[in-house]
Amino acid sequence: MIKFYYHTAPNPAKVALLLEELGLPYEVVPVDIRRGEQHSPAYLAINPNAKTPAIVDDGTRVFDSNAILLYLADKHGRFAPAATAPLRGELLSWLMFVASGIGPYSGQAVHFNHYAPEKLPYAQHRYLFEADRHWGVLESRLAGRRYLLGDDYTIADMALWGWARAIPFIFGEQAWSQRPNLKRLLDEINARPAAARAEGLRERFKFKTDMDDEARQAMFPHLARRTA
């Protein structure tokens, strides 16, 4: 059985969605990142980068959310074009676009606007601008297309879904009025039974929610180096 190392953040949500879409049996291992459990020696042996998610699949360790999506989709032959299929390049391009652009810029926009201990207008503007630019690429891509690759629902859409749920937190409650194509896709995926089950994991496990000194030190370890 797959062991799935989980937190409620956007990246683990992608993997939860695919596990549920595939109907695979899995055991959830909660990792409370605000308590620093991602830095434990046991977890670092699975993911040396101290991030969630990760999986262990019959002894095979896989970390980084989009790597897990690709590994599972290829292994089970669903939700991804085959390696020799014409759309394989499109899949890899959009999957990596989410991994290298959407996630990092959205995450940094959230950090500098919600969690940074000091307000830095340059950083706030830069990351919000780049997050908005990257989401704008996806908004344009989805104009006239049901999914990122066209008619087929794939792991690229699941990767997008993980982060799209956070759009109002990134940009504010008015954000959807400017992104109707993204909202349409989010609503369609949310209506899938697998998405409801993936979201249900939030209720099964209780994680720390306070952003106190313990949480800041666990999630932003650079702060310790800065004050040393």
pLDDT of residue 152: 97
pTM of the model: 0.94
Output the 3-class SS for 84-130: CCCCHHHHHHHHHHHHHHHHHHHHHHHHHHHHCCCCCHHHHHHHHHH
pLDDT of residue 85: 97
Q: 10-residue block means of pLDDT along the chain (228 residues)?
A: 97 98 98 96 97 97 98 98 96 98 98 93 98 98 97 98 97 96 98 98 90 87 65
pLDDT of residue 211: 84
Domain 2-79+196-227 has CATH 2.60.120.580: no
pLDDT of residue 222: 81
| Residue in this structure with the two tokens 């042996």, named with its chain if needed | 45
- Residue 58 has φ and ψ, to the nearest 5°, of 50, 45
Domain 88-191 has CATH 1.20.1050.10: yes
Q: Do 88-191 and 2-79+196-227 have the same topology in CATH?
A: no
pLDDT of residue 88: 98
Q: Domain extents for the chain? A: 2-79+196-227, 88-191
pLDDT of residue 212: 86
pLDDT of residue 221: 83
Measure Cα distances from 198 to 100, 107, 115 in Å.
Answer: 24, 21, 26
SS3 139: helix
Number of H helices, E strands in the chain: 12, 4
